[in-house]
């Protein structure tokens, strides 16, 4: 509890309505962040229908609060607001936009603790990880406040003396953003930071499980002085989401759609964008291999896997999903991993001190993970530890290790999104690469080796947008995050994250004597 409450302790009436027992239990400090209305054109607005939908804490099933269940009408209003705001926002200087992004960053940093606690309540992730995500999320605002001023053009060598030829970069316009629940803050800042830096405006539709973090970010954007309509947030229940999403893709006023989420929904959005030939950025599911070669430091590999697997209870698109261990170190690795999991994982409510593995986001995800494990075991895999639901609550799963897993088993075929480590023993580097690349996904990959030739060979050959080499934690604002194959299109973060929000405009100056 370090940061003071944002705007003192005075609550505006409409906000006090959403202070449920769950929120009050953690102090009135949340009051200034908690909105149940959407944020459109600089106003906090309810759903046209007046309907709300509940948001529950996956750790205990308690209702955290309710938010506006918006539909097409409000989405259209948000798109209109973003479109109107764009007409002036794109004329601002990069320096002005940089200053506003920096101010937004400062406010997020200032209120890190409140934002992190709010995130724990709706996402279930351990507090220490929620704090980490706020830092990671704010880093994109900071980074893009800096990058805003480094969007350059080009002067090319004209083939004729009567012409000069120049490329400038222009913002594409209104950007629709649909974001997931596993990183309720950072998946918004990673997109909105780049968009605003480029001179775009945005309409954000957060996941129905975690809208409060998005609305809190909007509150801070408003306080940072970001003009009305530049950032808009539309909240919708799962039922209203398809119609909202469709409009966010099909509206002629929308220039591009940027999505982080499942491959299935990503493909749907890609299709919906085809008709209007929209710019698209997709960051979809992965099925990351994690390879441990005989030459690896087993200790480092175990430490890397603990991070790459158990962060957010395995619910990240870059989680290690298929663990391949070379026969020379297999048994040693397995013993060390088992010891690490036993000693380092503490399952429970993310708000409790010392907890490292929170609940899965909802009961449906828990059932999915349970089924994956059951089917994998039914096909012949062995349970080394865990293997079933955890007694901590309805959405908790035991940290699990399975061995003897093969490519045809479900735990290897699909993204698990849970605290489950399936392991396969392999003999040769060639075999490991063949297995690792035998997927339609290509987001993250990891491997451990101390053999420098092998490091380069494998780094070149792994079919993935990102590879951690002797490292399990690869994300940062400074790096280009994204996948190949069905894992996505485009890159977020780094200087390249701005590319999708701009287009190259060619200017031809003629008649030069």
Active-site residues: which are they?
283, 317
Shortest-Cβ-distance residue relative to ligand ADP: 245
| DSSP-derived 3-state class of residue 326 | strand
Q: Which is nearer to ligand ADP, 137 or 180 (CB)?
A: 180
Buried b (16+ CB within 10 A) or exposed e, 186-225: bbbbbbbbbbbbbbbbbbbbbbbbbbbbbbbbbbbbbebe
CA dihedral of residues 94, 224, 138, 482 (deg, nearest 10) = -50
Nearest by Cα to 495 from 152, 111, 19: 152
Angular region, 510: left φ>0, alpha ψ -120 to 50, beta rest: beta
Q: DSSP letter at 492?
A: B
Question: What are the beta bridge partners of residue 389?
Answer: 397
End-to-end Cα, the chain, rounded Å: 69
Angular region, 113: left φ>0, alpha ψ -120 to 50, beta rest: alpha
Q: Radius of gyration of the chain from Cα atoms?
A: 23
Nearest by Cα to 210 from 132, 118, 131: 118
Nearest by Cα to 206 from 244, 171, 170: 244
The string of DSSP codes covering 190-239 is HHHHHHHHHT-EEEEE--TT-HHHHHHHHHHHHHHTPPTTSEEE----TT
CA dihedral of residues 64, 65, 70, 75 (deg, nearest 10) = -70
Residue 204: φ, ψ to 5°: -105, 130
Nearest by Cα to 218 from 39, 461, 60, 391: 39
> What residue ranges bind ligand ADP (CB under 6 A)?
178-180, 205, 207-208, 241-242, 245, 261-262, 265, 268
Which two three-digit tokens encode residue 231? 């950032």
Give the CA count within 13 Å in the CB-facing half-sphere of 243: 13
Mention every residue, 6+ apart, whose C-beta is less than 8 A from residue 377: 383, 387, 402
CA distances from 498 to 28, 182, 231 (A): 38, 23, 17
d(CA 266, CA 253): 21
Contact 237, 208 (CB under 8 A): yes
Shortest Å, Cβ 205 to ligand ADP: 6
């Amino acid at each position: 509890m370090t940061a003071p409450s944002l705007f003192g302790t005075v609550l505006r009436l409409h906000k006090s309505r959403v202070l449920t027992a769950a929120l009050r239990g953690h102090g009135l400090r949340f009051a200034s962040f908690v909105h149940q209305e959407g944020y459109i054109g600089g106003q906090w607005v309810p759903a046209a229908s007046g309907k709300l939908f509940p948001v529950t804490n996956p750790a205990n099933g308690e209702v955290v609060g309710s938010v506006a269940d918006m539909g097409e009408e409000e989405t259209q209003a948000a798109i209109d607001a973003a479109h109107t705001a764009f007409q002036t926002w794109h004329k601002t200087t990069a320096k002005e936009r940089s200053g506003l992004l920096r101010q937004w960053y400062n406010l997020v940093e200032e209120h890190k603790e409140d934002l992190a606690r709010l995130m724990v309540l709706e996402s279930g992730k351990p507090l220490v990880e929620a704090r980490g995500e706020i830092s990671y999320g704010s880093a994109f605002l900071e980074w893009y406040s800096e990058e805003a001023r480094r969007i350059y053009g080009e002067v090319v060598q004209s083939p004729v003396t009567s012409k000069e030829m120049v490329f400038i970069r222009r913002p594409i316009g209104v950007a629709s953003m649909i974001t997931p629940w596993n990183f309720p803050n950072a998946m918004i800042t990673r997109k909105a930071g780049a968009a605003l830096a480029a001179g775009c405006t945005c309409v954000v539709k957060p996941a129905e499980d975690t809208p409060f973090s998005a609305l809190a970010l909007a509150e801070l954007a408003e306080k940072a002085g970001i003009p009305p309509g530049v950032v808009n947030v539309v909240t919708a229940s799962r039922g209203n989401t398809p119609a909202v999403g469709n409009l966010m893709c099909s509206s002629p006023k929308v220039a591009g759609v940027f999505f982080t989420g499942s491959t299935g929904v990503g493909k749907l959005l890609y299709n919906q964008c085809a008709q209007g030939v929209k710019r698209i950025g997709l960051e979809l599911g992965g099925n990351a291999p994690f390879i441990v070669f005989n030459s690896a430091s087993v200790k480092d590999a175990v430490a890397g896997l603990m991070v790459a697997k158990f962060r957010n209870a395995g619910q990240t698109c870059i989680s290690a999903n298929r663990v391949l261990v070379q026969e020379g170190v297999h048994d040693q690795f397995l013993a060390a991993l088992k010891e690490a999991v036993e000693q380092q994982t503490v399952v429970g409510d993310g708000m409790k001190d010392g907890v490292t593995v929170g609940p899965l986001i909802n009961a449906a995800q828990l059932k999915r993970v349970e089924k994956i494990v059951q089917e994998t075991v039914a096909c012949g895999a062995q349970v080394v530890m865990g293997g079933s639901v955890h007694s901590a609550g309805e959405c908790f799963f035991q940290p699990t290790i399975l061995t003897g897993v093969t490519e045809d088993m479900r735990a290897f075929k699909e993204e698990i999104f849970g605290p489950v480590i399936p392991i396969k023993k392999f003999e040769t580097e060639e075999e490991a690469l063949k297995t690792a690349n035998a997927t339609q996904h290509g987001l993250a990959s990891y491997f451990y080796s101390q053999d420098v030739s092998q490091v380069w060979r494998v780094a070149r050959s792994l079919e993935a947008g990102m590879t951690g080499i002797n490292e399990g934690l690869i994300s940062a604002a400074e790096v280009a995050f994204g996948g190949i194959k069905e894992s996505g299109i485009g890159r977020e973060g780094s200087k390249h994250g701005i590319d999708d929000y701009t287009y190259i405009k060619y200017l031809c100056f003629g008649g030069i004597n």
